[in-house]
Amino acid sequence: MKLTSRCKKHWLLAMFIVLLSSNATSEENEDIKFSFAPGDKTSFIQKLTTTKEKDMAEKGRQLDESISTTKITMTKTKNGWDLLAEPQSISMMRNGQKIDNPILSLLSSAVIKYKLDSDGNIIDVEGYEAFIDGISKQVPPQVFQQLSPVLNVEAMKAKEVAEWNGRIGDYIGAEVEIGDSFAATVPFQLPNGSTINYNVKTNISGVEPCSENKCVRIDQVYDSKADSVAKMSGEMVSNVTKVLAPEIEKSNKDNTTASINGSVKRLIDPSTMLIYTEESVRVISMNMNIPGAGSIPMKMTETRQYEFLY
């Protein structure tokens, strides 16, 4: 059969569409497995830029900005991995004015070691004892006592484990495809010491090049409000959905008015579990006990941007 000029154009267009659909389907159906294999003696600089805006109603607003750089070294051991985090620099400003206080020097000298098993799951965190002891000597006893719900070794370890699992640990060993989504309920310890659960939806959004490898884009949204659960419904898939942190059993009347919501965008190499870019926004609303003022409503918006130099 001989094709006319118009038929040829239609046929070529149809074939082009088929090819595009085939490529898209190939990417969506690509199997991805997350494995912790960063390589022995892997070392890089992590730069974290954080802004925290506190809206304390009639007490006014407060804007904190900090920039920290940390040298991260991953070393293979007999039983797993050691991850050493060595602060290189830290600076902080409050409402545009530079902050100089002894706590910053404590932060800049707090070397933290993470003990991991052979798969990369976090086992223990070491190094907070000296940091907490140093703070206890810098602030009045009554202030230190008020900070005790969040400023103790076990609480800080739990926070580190929860953050590691949310970014790395809960993906290890998971097998997913582009387009997969899953949901989970996660506990989070608030600055006032109480704990709130939130619902998080994770999307495996796509792939793109990073360094010499292929990275996966992960997008997350989360919200603690009960009426938002339906909006965050997603297909429950794979073995990725684990609890991100042990529930901290606390009862606090402020829990009834507290809420948290936010989003995370992360680019990660699934073959090594090294992160290449990450941005997050978190909004917390709660009541906070302020010395001399009692319990006041507070809304805190925190933005984090990570940069990595490998």
Question: Each residue of 65-124: pLDDT tens digit?
Answer: 999 999 999 999 999 999 999 999 999 999 999 988 777 778 888 899 999 999 999 999
Report the amino acid identity of residue 41.
K
Q: What angle do CA 154, 303, 214 make, to 5 degrees?
A: 90
Q: Comparing C-alpha atoms, which of 205, 183, 184, 174 is closest to residue 267?
A: 205
Domain residue extents for the chain: 33-309
CA distance 196 to 215: 32
pLDDT at 21 over 50: no
Model confidence pLDDT, tens digit, residues 132-180: 888 888 888 888 887 777 788 888 898 899 899 989 999 999 999 999 9
Output the pLDDT for position 212: 81
CA–CA gap between residue 244 and residue 233 (Å, rounded): 18
3-state secondary structure of 46: strand
Two structure tokens written together for 137: 């000597």
Q: pTM score, two decimals?
A: 0.75
The structural architecture, per CATH, of the domain 33-309 is Roll (2.30)
Strand partners, 74: 42, 83
- CA torsion 137-143-145-151 (nearest 10°) is -70
Cβ 176 vs Cβ 229: under 8 Å? no
Q: What is the mean pLDDT of residues 38-57?
A: 94
